[in-house]
Amino acid sequence: MKLRRSAALVGAAVLFGTVACSNNGPGSSGSGGGSGDGTIKLLVISQLQATAFSFPEIADGAQAAAQSINATGGVNGHKIQVDTCNDQGDPNVAGTCGRKAAQEGYTAVINPVSLYAASYVPLLEAANIPAIGGTPLTQPDFTSKISFPISGGNPLDYGGAGMIAGKSGCKSTVLLRDTAAATEETTKAMTAGAAAGGAPVQQVIKQVGTSTDFSAPVSQAASSGADCLLVAEQPAAVAKVVGALRQSSRPDMPVYTPVAAFPDALAKSLGAAANGVHVSGSVPIPDEKITPAFLADMAKYSPNGTKSDQSLLAWSGVQVVKQVAAKANAYDAASLLKAMQSASDVSVEGFPQKFDFTKQRGGSYPRVFATSNYSWEYRDGAYNPQFGGQAIDVSAVLG
């Protein structure tokens, strides 16, 4: 069994065939959600395999949760069936996954990561099927009545990185960002977070994320007079930024970026240069202290699966279904959607806040329900928890 932080997609993906579906459990399809024999049918829609990035462990996490729940009696006697639909990072395939959910009677969709919610969310809305446990990446995730993410996505992760820089002692920051238009939103979030944390951005420097040489923009950042460097770049670019900084006039300048943009494999490839990079995120890195049940379920039911933030999100989405459905006796899609919309006290292992799905915030992110980020400093090949391992409330970045 593997334990890792997944390859970055939250920031990286927004910066810049045929459907593969599997049926892995009892129950037959039925209209209106749920099967004829009372099975709660869940469909995982995510980028499980694709050219750009793949998260096959999402299926492992969802299956581990379902098998663990079923082994202890299911949801008030109702078994959970988990099927998967790989959207392949293709909007057309994502639409096919949405049609499958609507036409084959699924109770809910579990969607840890998909860039093409716009292709399937309208289909789920029409069928009253909730989408649970995702990372909000695109407009439908942030606004749809059927969207119930538990990650904070880009707004909280980038904004939180900026805010935590201030809370860690930075008094001023310089921000190095990709030139891609989509980075405008992450830049706004990071800038707002830095201001809220007391480390306002003094200068913004742009560099194409696919550049091979970051020495010039890094030199500009190092000579800016700012205390700390915020980075809103693709993961490969973050590695180049860190490498260039170590060769600059300020090799020890603190760096802050979302943990999604600084995955473990990338950090390890830098060796000692990775030491001192600070990362934060709204999804915990699995460990025995804060996610013991998840780790135990993965060890028992998906022993060859990777324990990552993405498999944790999938596992957590199924756990949310169990918790809400059991309390409300809601086993079909319409009933579960109604129950989700009135659920105000949902606990998820590893996530510090309870989720209140009845309250929408104002502004651009009404369906972001997460409020806190964890923070780590990468050193000696490991993410070392900051602030005593406690999460920090960074909801101010959402407005």
CA–CA distance, 320 with 346 (Å, rounded to integer): 7
* pLDDT surpassing 60 at residue 361: yes
- Please indicate whether residue 7 or residue 254 has the higher confidence score (pLDDT): 254
pLDDT of residue 33: 52
Judge whether 38 and 299 are in contact, CB under 8 Å: no
pLDDT higher than 60, residue 6: no
Report the alpha-carbon distance of residue 10 to residue 380 in Å, rounded: 25
What band does 10 get if pLDDT is binned at 50, 70 and 90? Answer: very low
The confidence score (pLDDT) of residue 54 equals: 86
CB 254 within 8 A of CB 170: yes
- What is the tens place of the pLDDT at every residue in 144-176? 999 999 999 989 999 999 999 999 999 999 999
Produce one character per residue of 62-98: b if its CB has 16 or more CB atoms within 10 Å, e if not.
bbbbbbbbbeeebbeebbbbbbbbbbbbbbebbbbbb
pLDDT at 4: 54
Q: Look at residue 47 in the predicted model and tell me its pLDDT.
A: 93
Query: Is residue 12 over pLDDT 60?
Result: no
Task: Determine if residue 176 is left, alpha or beta; phi over 0 gives left, psi from -120 to 50 gives alpha, anything else beta.
Answer: beta
- Name the amino acid, one letter, at 4: R
Q: How remote is the C-alpha of 111 from its chain's centroid?
A: 10
Domains and CATH numbers, the chain: 2-152+286-368 (3.40.50.2300), 154-281+373-398 (3.40.50.2300)
Q: What confidence category does residue 30 fall into, taking pLDDT thresholds of 50, 70 and 90?
A: very low
